Chains A and B, each alone.
Chain A
Amino acid sequence: MSVVSAQVLPGDAPAMPQAARGAAELGPRARLWPSLAAVYRAQLSRARVARIPLLFVATFQSVGITVMMRGVVDSGGEAQSVVAGSSVLVVAYVALNLLSQYFGQLRASGGLDHYATLPVPPAAVVLGAAGAYASFTVPGTLVTAVFGCVLFGLPLSNLWILMAVIPLAGAALSGLGAACGLLAPRPELATLLGQLGMSAALLLGVLPADRMPQIVRLARDLLPSTYGVEAYARTFGAHPDWAVVLADLGVCAGVGVVSLAVATWAYRRAAVR
């Protein structure tokens, strides 16, 4: 126990003794990839505790929508966009809506302080969480796609394209979700933004575009999830135009890079006020 006399220095007394010159050695900085992996693994493990909201709700919702649309749409071109739209809707629900809510709540409750007081690169936190949320969408998207194809009698042969659609649409939408969650001044606004984004993906992605007025088609073109839907829908044909599929996926990738960069910037801004 070091018992020393009182050290109260009145007001702004400038006569502080200078600290010893020898500065303490700084602890190591966490490097990007190892810390990204650590965040990803930790986020992924949350599915064990929050299984129902993270894995099941979106699947039930999308399967329900395909069943509902079966009563409206015949097989053929329109069925293709319904199946593709409701599959990608799982990605929009989890990666955009739930991730936006998660970051909004984390920010509001002061949970970001935990990361902000660790020497971890902002990109690791954002990409780790975004990657985990994109991963949560895999089972739901596959289940919806298979169920939808069986229901509408569509071929399952090009289902593998989802292995490209999920990560790329996932990157674009989770980047948007993270950015919304981290930029929204209040958690309710983050929830609202996520919900609106998800609703847009539902209305503009699932319903066949040909029946829409021009203005809605424009909005549809602005929504990144649309390109994931189109990429998948094009592969149902007998001779898909792979160049266009690739271009659609390229748009997703581009939006993903930009939105994740914005989200990383938003994290940095939210973490230190």
Chain B
Amino acid sequence: MRGLSKTYPPVKGRRGTPGTPEVRATDGVTLDVRRGEIFGLLGPNGAGKSTLVRQLTGLLRPDGGSVEILGHDIVRHPERAARILAYLGQESSALDELTVSLAAETTGRLRGLDVRRARAERDAVIEELGLTPIAGRALKKLSGGQRRLACFAAALVGERPLLVLDEPTTGMDPVARRAVWAAVDRRRAEHGTTVLLVTHNVIEAETVLDRVAVLDQGRVIACDTPAGLKEQVSGEVRVELVWRERAPLDVPEVAVLRERAVESGRRWTLRLAPEEARAAVATVTGGAAFAALDDFTLATPSLEDVYLALGGAARQGLVKV
């Protein structure tokens, strides 16, 4: 595998529509995704992930900058994007009233497959994702997760070297999630497929991604492997304390901790150096404070901590599913 076969140099901001204040949804984003990589875009709502993806898929013309996918200039030839990549958007309204099997077949036909190939690929993908029992049902009548999986199936019919998936596993049960990632891995192993994944789900990001870019207010604030990103905040430990009713503020050590805690009801979250964390745990697990303690956890940093440490605007952090 040779690196840098794909380049997404500066994709610049898009002006807001008239009547709303100018919004720079993407602001000089520069990313370089390698062939065969599962690359993630992580960020809070409104960070510019979807705008970036729409620019990459040729749906939205960037105001400035360039997008190059596998040697093709997508800003100059947006129509080529459809012939290089498969896109799974968040909306299924175009397929809602079709059966799972017809949605997959039609999508394959519109990707330029002839009837026989489209049907063969449809059957293979439906089988692979375990959709056979619901293949004859309309997407509209399925649960959110099943519908998502059916749309994912449609995205896979008519092999493409790049898959752009916008939150593919939203609403899915663990079995469906596993089917998605197994299908992605198989395509990567067999065809060297590259995957660009937009996600909110921090846990999923940590397990499936090769590299991840953290987006905030239209800018890339970090880009590395999940492990590499976590190393940036390896000096910190996250301590979570849950009190039975209320915190024993009469214990002086607890009162001191409060100043550094993010409070949410009975739950306190603290980010501390390892020795401070040890001291804090010793305090709350012994003496008067212990009686008021319901539960506590001590954890090494997650991608969520990385995001917060990098100074993301959304202080509440990412949605953790």
Q: Which of A11-19, A161-169, A213-221, A222-230 contacts B (4 or more CB under 8 A)?
A: A11-19
CA distance A11 to B137 in the complex (A): 48
Q: Cβ of A119 and Cβ of B111 under 8 Å apart?
A: yes
A46 closest partner in B (C-beta): B97
The stretch among B27-35, B40-48, B171-179, B285-293 that forms the contact with chain A is: B27-35
Q: Residues 3-39 of chain B: 1 if any A CB is under 8 Å from the residue's CB, otherwise 0?
A: 1111101100000000000000000101110101100
Q: Which residues of A contact B83 (CB under 8 A)?
A: 26-29, 119
Is A186's CB within 8 Å of the partner chain B? Answer: no
Interchain CB contact under 8 A, B80 and A6: no
Stretch at the interface among A32-40, A63-71, A199-207: A32-40
Is A240 in the interface zone, CB < 8 Å from B? Answer: no
Q: Are A24 and B109 also in contact (CB < 8 A) when A111-B91, A113-B87 are?
A: no
| Distance between A1 CB and nearest chain B CB, rounded to angstroms | 6
Complex Cα gap A16–B29 (Å): 13
Specify which chain A residues have a CB less than 8 angstroms from the CB of B161 in the assembled complex: 24
For A26, what are the chain B residues with a Cβ–Cβ distance below 8 Å?
A: 72, 80, 83-84
* A2 in contact with B37 (CB, 8 Å): yes
Report whether A27 and B160 are in contact in the complex, using a CB–CB cutoff of 8 Å. yes
Q: Does A8 contact B89, Cβ atoms closer than 8 Å? A: no
Judging by beta carbons under 8 Å apart, are B79 and A111 in contact?
A: no
- Residue B298, interface by CB 8 Å: no
By the criterion CB–CB under 8 Å, are B6 and A8 in contact?
A: no
Complex CA distance for A124 and B105, rounded to whole angstroms: 16
Decide yes or no: A106 and B82 within 8 Å by CB, A17-B4, A120-B110 being known contacts.
no
Q: Say whether B187 faces chain A, with CB atoms less than 8 Å apart.
A: no
Partner of A117, one of B3, B82, B109: B82
With a cutoff of 8 Å between Cβ atoms, the chain B residues found around residue A111 in the complex are: 91-94
A272 proximal to B (CB < 8 A): yes
Please determine whether A112 and B72 come into contact, CB atoms closer than 8 angstroms: no
Contacts of B7 in A (CB 8 A): 16-19
> In the bound complex, what is the Cα–Cα distance between A245 and B249 (angstroms)?
92
Contact check: which of B79, B82, B105, B210 meets A1 at CB < 8 Å?
B210
Checking B93, B141, B211 against A4 with a beta-carbon cut-off of 8 angstroms, the contacting residue is B211
B170 CB to nearest A CB, Å: 15
Question: Which residues 205-237 in B have Cβ within 8 Å of A in the complex?
Answer: 210-211, 220, 222-225, 227-228
A75-117: contact bitstring with B at CB < 8 Å (1 yes, 0 no)?
Answer: 0000000000000000000000000000001100111111111
Cβ A119 vs Cβ B4 within 8 A: no
Q: In the complex, A191 Cα to B280 Cα: how many Å?
A: 62
Tell me which of A4, A16, A24 contacts B72 (CB under 8 A): A24
| Residues of chain B from 59 to 92 with CB closer than 8 A to chain A in the complex | 59-61, 68-72, 78-87, 89-92
Contact of B109 among A7, A21, A30, A271 (CB under 8 A): A30
Total interface residues in chain A, CB < 8 Å: 57
A272 close to B78 (CB less than 8 A)? yes
Q: How far does the Cβ of B251 sit from chain A's closest Cβ, in whole Å?
A: 43
Within 8 Å by CB of B59, from A1, A35, A42, A272, lies A272
A238 at the interface (CB under 8 A from B): no
Contact with B along A115-159 (1 / 0, CB 8 A): 111111000100000000000000000000000000000000000
Residue contact B228 to A5, C-beta cutoff 8 Å:
yes
Contact B111 A118 (CB under 8 A): yes
Partner of A42, one of B30, B70, B98, B211: B98
Residue in B1, B2, B79, B115 whose beta carbon sits within 8 Å of that of A119 in the complex: B79
Contact A118 B110, beta carbon cutoff 8 Å:
yes
Cβ–Cβ contact B110 & A45, under 8 A? no
Which A residues are in CB contact (< 8 Å) with B28? 11-12
Among A2, A3, A24, A34, contact of B1 (Cβ-Cβ < 8 Å)? A2
B99 in contact (CB, < 8 A): yes
CA distance A119 to B223 in the complex (A): 32
Among B4, B6, B90, the most chain A Cβ lie within 10 Å of the Cβ of: B4
Q: Report the minimum CB–CB distance from A153 to chain B (whole Å).
A: 41
Q: A12-B10, A113-B87 are in contact. List 13 more A-B contacts (CB 8 A).
A: A4-B34, A11-B30, A24-B72, A24-B84, A27-B158, A34-B109, A42-B98, A42-B106, A49-B97, A105-B93, A117-B85, A118-B110, A272-B58
Q: List 15 A-B contacts (CB under 8 A).
A: A1-B210, A3-B210, A4-B3, A19-B7, A27-B83, A27-B160, A30-B112, A34-B109, A45-B98, A117-B57, A117-B58, A117-B59, A117-B87, A119-B111, A120-B82
